[in-house]
Structure 1
Amino acid sequence: MGDVEEIALPTGAGPLSIALGPDLALWYTQAGSGKIGRATRAGAVSEFVLPTTGVGLQQIAAGFDGNLWFTELAANKIGRITRQGVVTEFPLPNRGASPIGIAAGLDGNVWFTELIGNRIGRITPSGEITEFPLPTAAAQPRGIAQGFDGNLWFVEQSANKVGSISFEGVIREFPLPTEQSFPSAIVAGLDGNLWFTQQDANQIGRITPAGVVTEFPLPTAESEPSAIALGPDGNLWFTQLGGNRLGRITHDGTITEFTLPTPDSRPSGLVIAPPGNWCLDGHVWFTERGNHKLGKIRTIAVP
């Protein structure tokens, strides 16, 4: 457990966010080149050029419609790409909304955050967009995830809060104990709680569906925890953007860190990526924005 393998990408790719596609390949945003990338488990890489240039690619997520959906922060659009690489873009109704986080909802729609527009957005598989304003001004919502309680959960980086939104648009907000912690990403854990990264506070946070928050400091200073995902071992895994490590936290708050082999790799996004026999694979895949690579780390021992 803990062995890291890396796949080199074209120079300048700058991979940021990563998701598992319906074809069981890894799909990722290339912040450096403005393309969507696809990699097989064997390391065969494909790139797809977007219709719009200078889009400011951010997050990508698999939708329940069998496509991948992504945010274009600078172009102010939501994008959709099929497994064949056909791209469709949907402009947002409000200029300067700056979509950033994105996640599939159990209602069959895709939900996203508007960093500057201060809204949570919802887009149907056919492209119909609805927006919900946040109660807190200039909250800057960032990461978003589907919770096991039926709501979507998101973090507000400037307001220093965690929020939830129902499928009907009912919003709740919960302040965090540590000031200016810069919550960045969020994911549902198998314990029924939501887990999130606090980049500036160098902590991992946990919030119950009722809003009770617990914070866990990281062992290494200035690690800048960024993305977070549920691992095949049942624990939460996260990237350390400044620490050049991956981290693992158990439900009771025990943290383990794994140093990456390439210096200054700036690990950014990560995802479970099981093949058909996924329980015997046990890998988490991640992006290395600093050295234009994808990496994978074994998280459970193979019998």
Structure 2
Amino acid sequence: MGPPDEETSTMTITGTPADNFPDEERPRFCGSGIAKSTDFVTEYSIPTECTNPLAIVTDYEGNVWFAQTNTGKLSKFDPNTETFTEYENPTWPKNGRSMMWGIDYAPDGTIWFTDETFDSVWKFNTIDEKYYRLGYPSMDDSLPQRLHIDGSQIIINDFTGNKLTFFDIGQSSGDVEYTSFPSPVDNSVTADFALDDDGNVWYTNWLFQQGGVLVKLDYDGYQNAKQETGLEFFAGDMFTEIYQLPVALLTPNGATISDDGKIWLADTTSSSFFSFDPTTEEFTQYVTADPLLSTYGNQTGVVKTPISRPYWIDSDEQGRIIFNEQNANNISVFDPKSNSLVEYHVPSKNPYWGDCDPGTGLMLADCGLAQIFDFTVYGEKIWFTQWVENNIGVVDTSVPLPVEIQLGSETMSLSSGEMDHLPVLVYSKTSDSIGASVILSPSHDFLKTKLTHDSTETFQLDSGETETIHVDIMATDDAIPGTYKILVGVQTSDVAVSKYVTVTLE
């Protein structure tokens, strides 16, 4: 994601990072830098223009740290004083740009982050404010991506180099030892990973839009065998287990593990995220609400089926599953205990990342995407970056929601060709009158939904009122037996509140 050929481009020198782009590309990559807010989301504009913030993490005191892909710097944001501090990286190449997808904070006060362009892992010491560069073990085509610190180890997935690498940063000598594990599927990519309580590393290994596998690597078992034998050997079948991904799961970028041991995967070529139960070895598909029209504009009518594109995924101390919806400009929170999904809409948008030109040459004001490429969780708050709007932002999940959803039944059993009725109660929880639209999103095409009893797709909900939405749910004649999810809820301008109905097809 860099600037195009600049042979015919105009370059106005400003002395800012915007100089890495020709004039005509600056609105697309630098954005407006104007921070906006809703009742749930607060944004903060980065003082330096066009930094392209990406990977983000919080330290133990709640300070927010993020990497700037257009400057090579780390920045700190203090939520108490609402001030930024940007730390100059003296070894960064002039006009250098790099996507920095991974970052983590270590107990010794150092911050580590990945660097795609220069195949590097960087360490920043927050005490002496110095940078240290560590070369990433690369072959022909490497892309160090996500990064996680586990004790004295750093784990990094090499997205295009198709391996996982474990660095030992606890060595007293200056040398850093590492072990790389090639992924089982040849000529594929190795995506995000997560660690379970038994020391296993779970990650996905797939071919673009062709599917792939979920891999369980028994790293502790490998290490124990290595110590006992004194031999280096490939993990192979002895320490890995492979599970075929569902046909519908094509681009599983993000991965995390919830407190009940389930693995959760975000699919970036759809509107879905999936859970995997290691005990039953079964996958369950969940679907988000459709993106708001303002995120894609559709001024030319080219978008027929908008998708939200869940990208990265994480879990918090409450057991909630959190993910960013790249194409919906949302930060979303799924609670497996209540089967509820809350999708927080981020107000800033860059119209050059949507179909936002009505033909006049002037872009629509509230249209496009901020390219929310990373987030981090600290207590009730979710901090995130806006790659093309030069902002960071925070979602406060403790703010009360404007509505509450109650389903007539959370489960339903159908046979092929059958239909059942579902009443949905929407309670107002605010003193204001709000406009809302109905969300009905089945996970599969053979499940159909229809509003009945004069229920309408949009409605006005006044303070203290309750709206009843009547929904018919049908299974087509070719429906496949199994257990599926349908998302039912309401969308307001700032947030979508929904619950999942579990439908069993017999």
Q: TM-score scaled by structure 2?
A: 0.54
Cross-structure match for 2:283: 213
**CA positional deviation for 1:293:** 1.0
Q: CA deviation at 1:197?
A: 0.8
Question: How far off its partner does 1:207 sit?
Answer: 1.7
Q: Which moved further from structure 2: 64-73 or 185-194?
A: 64-73
Match of 1:4 among 41, 50, 55: 41
Separation in structure 2 between the aligned mates of residue 4 and residue 232 of structure 1, nearest angstrom = 21
Maintained 8 Å contact 2:184/2:205? no
**Structure 1 residue 121, shift from structure 2 partner:** 0.2
Q: State the partner residue of 1:194.
A: 263
Tell me the equivalent position of 1:152.
201
* Aligned equivalent of 1:287, options 340, 361, 385: 385
1:164 partner letter = K
Q: Which whole-Å CA distance do the structure 2 matches of 1:23 and 1:300 have between them?
A: 19
> In the alignment, does 2:67 pair up with 1:37?
no
- What is the 5 A alignment of 1:67-216? 67-84=110-127, 85-95=129-139, 96-105=141-150, 107-125=151-169, 126=171, 127-158=176-207, 160-167=212-219, 168=222, 170-179=239-248, 181-210=250-279, 211-216=281-286
The answer on whether the counterparts of 2:214 and 2:244 sit within 8 Å (CA) in structure 1 is yes
Are the counterparts in 2 of residues 160 and 183 from structure 1 also a CA contact under 8 Å?
Answer: no
The structure with the largest helix share of the pair is 2
Letter in 2 for 1:48: Y
1:200 alignment partner, SS class: coil
Paired letter, 1:112: I
Larger mean Cα displacement after TM superposition, 223-232 or 182-191: 223-232
Which runs of 5 or more residues in structure 1 are unaligned? 275-281
The offset of 1:236, in angstroms, is 1.1
Aligned partner letter, 1:154:
Y
Letter in 1 for 2:124: I
Partner of 1:239: 324
**Is 1:223 aligned to residue 301 of structure 2?**
no
Q: CA RMSD for the aligned pairs? A: 2.3
**Alpha-carbon deviation of 1:301?**
4.9
8 A contact 2:53–2:67 mirrored in 1: yes
Q: In the alignment, which residue of structure 1 is the partner of 2:55?
A: 17
Contact kept in structure 1, 2:161 and 2:190, CA below 8 Å: no
SS in 2 for 1:268: coil
Q: Which has the larger radius of gyration?
A: 2
Unaligned runs of 5+ in 2: 1-37, 223-234, 291-305, 350-368, 401-506
For residues 178 and 250 of structure 1, do their structure 2 counterparts lie closer, same or farther at Cα, with a shift above 3 Å needed? farther
Greater RCO (CA < 8 Å, at least 6 residues apart): 1
Do the aligned partners of residues 111 and 14 (structure 1) sit closer, same or farther apart at CA in structure 2, a change above 3 Å counting? same
- CA contact 1:230–1:271 (8 Å) conserved in 2: no
299 and 231 in structure 1: CA distance in 2 versus 1, 3 angstrom threshold? farther
**1:231-266 residue CA offsets vs partner (Å, 9 max, x unmatched):** 454311111111111111121553221211222222
Checking the alignment, whether the CA contact within 8 Å between 1:13 and 1:30 is kept in structure 2 is: yes
Give the TM-score, by structure 1 length: 0.88
Counterpart CA distance in 2 for 1:155 and 1:2 is 36
The more displaced of 127-136 and 232-241 is 232-241
What pairs with 1:55-74 in structure 2 (closer than 5 Å)?
55-74=98-117
Q: CA deviation at 1:38?
A: 1.6
- The equivalent residue for 1:257 is 343
Return the alpha-carbon distance in structure 1 between the equivalents of residues 242 and 50 of structure 2: 38
Deviations along 1:42-69, one digit per CA (max 9) or x if unpaired, are: 3221223442433442211223544222
1:191 to 1:241, Cα distance in 2 relative to 1, 3 A = same
Q: Give percent identity, aligned residues only.
A: 18
CA shift, 1:192, in A, is: 1.9
Distance in 2, matches of 1:140 and 1:255, equals 30
SS across alignment from 1:57: coil
Q: Distance in 2 between matches of 1:259 and 1:232?
A: 23
Mapped contact 2:270–2:308 kept (Cα < 8 A): no
User: What is the deviation of 1:118?
Assistant: 0.9
- Write the deviation string for residues 62-105 of structure 1: whole angstroms up to 9, x where unpaired: 23544222111121122222223322111123333221111122
Q: Which residue is equivalent to 1:47?
A: 86
1:182-221 Cα distance to aligned partner (Å, 9 max, x none): 1111122122212221110221111233443222111214
Q: Distance in 2 between matches of 1:189 and 1:180?
A: 19
- Provide closer, same or farther for how the CA distance between residues 197 and 103 of structure 1 changes in structure 2, counting only shifts above 3 A: same
Q: Does the CA-based 8 Å contact 2:185-2:206 persist in structure 1?
A: no
Return closer, same or farther for 1:265/1:161 CA change in 2, 3 Å cut-off.
same
Question: Which residue type is aligned with residue 60 of structure 1?
Answer: I
TM-aligned CA distance change 1:17 to 1:69, over 3 Å: same
